[in-house]
């Protein structure tokens, strides 16, 4: 511990923790940029990384909505599905608005146009739900979004002739590249840069005056309203903003980036619970923490499909192998649940919170605040002792 304190003090006196954190973040970013160019990495691991980027967007946007704004919603997967399904249906059937006499055939709509329309529709649905419910307390939002998500899933499952039912709906290819290896590499960079753009946009919102209003509303809506914050307006705005982010992510991810079709199974409440768990493990009140937690958890769940353990001291298994192979199957989700329970019980700010605070230097500010407060409390005692 003493050695760690000396190293910590040396870093603070020289380069500084925040600057060291920026260097570490830059190195991680460079690694992700280099990863698809590594010839030793298979397309399978590139696909796992692409899935990790997608779930990082989902978890960080939920952290913005629930962890920072205090609006607990179970509708993220439903809005993601709205973006993907609308993009797929418009790319297949075009647009028909009989009341206005508008009809645009699918040949006149590109994959990008379909994705943008899907994103806008997800935001509009979020606007309607927010206008109906966000004047009430968050418990009603949670209950309604559970019901809405399940209703939307059942509609997509039962309307077989229109949505494909359990077989799923194919989306128009966003990237028409014949070479599979090149296509996977381009898809990797597309999803990675989408994650970066979404994180930057959410970071700007969280650290702007809007972010201050959102945190004030999370702590006490009545007090925020008394200080002049239009609570309903900002609650609806952040709900629409996050709905559009996940709608965009879903439309792009299922336009052959992560998969060529979306199925109703992806909209189950179980999938939403995984998003929440990813954000909780990484840190609900940190966009970077939630994104990193989602990526790491997604990678670990895939890596644990098959665990190979080398046996020491020349030991062998019954079939003479020097390695023990364990395929946990669904048990890996049980272990994942244990980690989530541990986080909720002992590290409620997330498992990555200590690293984030250390590299950002926040714990220094906390220690200084505590020491100043302690000095202020000790001063009256000293005065009393002197007067006595």
User: What would the DSSP string read from start to end of 331-375?
Assistant: HHHHHHHHHHHHHHHH-TT-TTHHHHHHHHTHHHHHHHHHHHHHH
- Helices of type H across the chain: 2-13, 17-34, 43-62, 76-93, 111-133, 138-158, 160-163, 180-206, 209-219, 221-226, 231-252, 269-282, 287-303, 331-346, 353-360, 362-387
For 330-369, the pLDDT digits (tens) are 778 888 888 888 888 888 788 888 888 777 766 555 555 4
What are the backbone dihedrals phi and psi of residue 308, each rounded to the nearest 5 degrees, phi first?
-110, 120
The residue to which tokens 């999803």 are assigned: 191
Say yes or no to pLDDT of 125 above 90.
yes
CA distance 247 to 381: 59
pLDDT band (50, 70, 90) for residue 116: very high
Q: What is the pLDDT at residue 193?
A: 94
Helix axes 138-158, 269-282, angle to 10 degrees: 140
CB count in 10 Å sphere of residue 40: 5
Looking at 77-81, 230-234, 261-265, which range is the least confident one?
261-265
Comparing 130 with 174, which gets the higher pLDDT?
130
Comparing 122 with 109, which gets the higher pLDDT?
122
Q: What is the pLDDT at residue 98?
A: 45
| CA gyration radius, the chain | 25
Q: What is the mean pLDDT of residues 48-55?
A: 92
CA geometry: angle 41, 42, 48, nearest 5 deg: 95
Say yes or no to pLDDT of 388 above 50.
no
Q: What is the pLDDT at residue 59?
A: 94
Comparing 128 with 256, which gets the higher pLDDT?
128
For 9-33, the pLDDT digits (tens) are 777 677 777 788 788 888 888 989 9
Say yes or no to pLDDT of 223 above 70.
yes
Q: What is the mean pLDDT of residues 58-70?
A: 92
- pTM, two decimals, is 0.86
Instruction: Give the rounded distance of the alpha carbon of 191 from its chain centre.
Output: 13
Q: What is the pLDDT at residue 150?
A: 92
CA 161 to each of CA 67, 87, 89, 157: distance values in angstroms, whole numbers, following the listed order: 39, 17, 12, 10
- List the one residue out of 220, 254, 217, 241 whose CA is nearest residue 115: 254
CA-CA-CA-CA torsion sign (127, 133, 138, 140): negative
- List the one residue out of 273, 360, 351 whose CA is nearest residue 58: 273
Q: Where are the domains of the chain?
A: 1-41, 45-279, 355-388
Comparing 327 with 144, which gets the higher pLDDT?
144
User: Is 287 in a helix, a strand, or coil?
Assistant: helix
Contact 195, 53 (CB under 8 A): yes
CA distance 262 to 86: 11
Q: What is the pLDDT at residue 203?
A: 93
Nearby residues of 133 by Cβ (< 8 Å), 6 or more positions away: 140, 141, 144
CB count in 10 Å sphere of residue 9: 10
Nearby residues of 324 by Cβ (< 8 Å), 6 or more positions away: 308, 309, 310, 311, 317
Contact 245, 118 (CB under 8 A): no
The residue to which tokens 């649905």 are assigned: 125
Q: What is the pLDDT at residue 102?
A: 64
Comparing 177 with 373, which gets the higher pLDDT?
177
For 176-197, the pLDDT digits (tens) are 766 667 778 888 899 999 999 9
Q: What is the pLDDT at residue 383?
A: 52
């Amino acid at each position: 511990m003493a050695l760690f304190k000396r190293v910590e003090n040396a870093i603070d006196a020289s380069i500084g923790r925040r600057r060291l954190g920026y260097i570490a973040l830059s190195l991680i970013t460079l690694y992700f940029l280099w990863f698809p160019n590594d010839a030793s990495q298979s397309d399978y691991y590139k696909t796992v990384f692409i899935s990790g980027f997608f779930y990082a967007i989902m978890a960080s946007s939920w952290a913005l909505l629930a962890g920072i704004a205090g609006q607990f919603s179970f509708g993220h997967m439903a809005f993601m599905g709205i973006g993907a399904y609308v993009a797929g249906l418009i790319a297949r059937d075009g647009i028909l608005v009989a009341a206005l006499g508008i009809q645009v055939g699918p040949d006149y709509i590109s994959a990008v146009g379909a994705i943008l329309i899907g994103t806008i529709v997800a935001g509009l649905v979020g606007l309607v739900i927010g206008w109906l419910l966000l004047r009430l307390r968050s418990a009603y939002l949670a209950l309604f979004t559970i019901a809405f998500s399940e209703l939307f899933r059942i509609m997509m499952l039962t309307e077989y002739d229109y949505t494909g039912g359990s077989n799923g709906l194919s989306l128009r290819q966003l990237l028409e590249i014949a070479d599979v290896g090149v296509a996977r590499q381009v898809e990797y960079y597309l999803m990675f840069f989408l994650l970066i753009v979404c994180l930057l946009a959410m970071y700007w919102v969280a650290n702007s005056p809007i972010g201050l209003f959102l945190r004030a509303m999370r702590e006490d809506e009545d007090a925020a309203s008394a200080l002049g914050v239009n609570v309903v307006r900002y609650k609806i705005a952040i709900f629409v903003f996050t709905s559009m982010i996940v709608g965009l992510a879903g439309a792009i991810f299922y336009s052959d980036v992560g998969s060529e079709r979306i199925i109703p199974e992806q909209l189950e409440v179980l999938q939403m619970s995984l998003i929440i768990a990813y954000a909780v493990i990484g840190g609900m009140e940190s966009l970077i923490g939630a994104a990193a937690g989602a990526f790491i958890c997604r990678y670990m769940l895939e890596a644990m499909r098959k665990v190979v353990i080398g046996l020491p001291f020349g030991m062998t298994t019954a079939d003479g192998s020097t390695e023990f192979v364990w395929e946990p199957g669904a048990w890996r989700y049980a272990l994942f649940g244990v980690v989530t329970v541990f986080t909720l019980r002992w590290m409620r700010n997330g498992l990555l919170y200590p690293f984030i605070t250390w590299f950002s230097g926040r714990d220094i500010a906390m220690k200084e605040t505590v020491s100043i407060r302690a000095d202020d409390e000790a001063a009256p005692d000293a005065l009393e002792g002197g007067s006595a």
